[in-house]
Amino acid sequence: MNSLPLSVRTNIKAKENGNTLRQSPKNSLAAKEAWLVVSQYAMQNTKRFEIMFHDRPLVVEFSNLTEQANGSVILKYGETTIMATAVMSENAKEGLDHFPLMVDYEEKFYAVGKILGGRFMRREGRPSDEAVLNGRMVDRTLRPLFDHRIRNEVHVVVTALSIEDEKNDPDVIGILAASLALATSDIPWNGPIGAIRIGRVNNNFVINPVNGTKEESDLDLVVCGKIGIGKRGRTKLST
């Protein structure tokens, strides 16, 4: 909040001071207007980069939307959008004999346009097996590139904001987003890393196949990292 321009902070405080802390329509409206001001400020300071990556646009956006994080990025591949944030504590945690790294991979139903639950309860269930595996891929790729003598807590969060079911899976994009969030932060890390999915259709290798092509592929291989960490599936291959 203190890092926002004075005009923005004054605007937000003026909207907050006119309402009580009770939940009221006026208070709700002021909160929405304050969030709109912050969002507009973040968008004005957005740096956007775009390249064509295997016939689909890969867009990287750096903004002030998550100012309290050490590093953050929003990465879009087609219509799939991932946000990644990286945070490190200011002080080292005493009494630890390991590097305290936590990596979270979040997939919510709103990413595919669904809200589950009944009228009074709309809780998300436990993470799917695929989400757990995606989180492990991000973790196993990032972890070896840290200095394990560090005792400051590091938390990396990869959140799927939208998922294009028919084309782009979020796992590879999540690894790239986590790498960009760390590489542009002040957290000591020996990156960046890369990630790619390889399929094989009619004995021809395909880079980052869309989901429709994946069903025809007899290979589903994800290679990531500096040296390469793989996740593979499908049938036995022969040359």
* pLDDT tens over the chain, length 239 residues: 555 544 445 444 544 444 433 344 444 566 666 666 666 666 667 889 999 887 788 999 998 888 889 999 999 998 889 999 999 999 999 999 999 999 999 887 777 676 666 555 556 667 788 889 999 999 999 999 999 999 999 999 999 988 876 677 889 999 999 999 999 999 999 989 999 888 888 888 888 887 656 677 888 888 888 864 555 555 555 54
In whole angstroms, what is the distance from residue 78 CA to residue 45 CA?
A: 23
Q: CB of 172 within 8 A of CB of 197?
A: yes
pLDDT of residue 149: 94
In whole angstroms, what is the distance from residue 96 CA to residue 94 CA?
A: 6
- Residue given tokens 């912050």 in the structure block: 38
- Radius of gyration, alpha carbons of the chain: 21
* Helix (H) or strand (E) segment spanning residue 44: helix 25-44
pLDDT of residue 156: 97
Q: Both tokens of residue 72?
A: 């953050």
pLDDT of residue 131: 87
pLDDT of residue 180: 95
pLDDT of residue 191: 87
pLDDT of residue 239: 47
Domain boundaries 46-189, corresponding CATH code? 3.30.230.70
pLDDT of residue 232: 53
pLDDT of residue 109: 73
pLDDT of residue 84: 96
Domain assignments of the chain as residue spans, ordered by start: 1-44, 46-189
pLDDT of residue 129: 86
Give the 3-state secondary structure of residue 110. Answer: helix
Q: Both tokens of residue 170?
A: 């979020």
First to last CA, the chain: 59
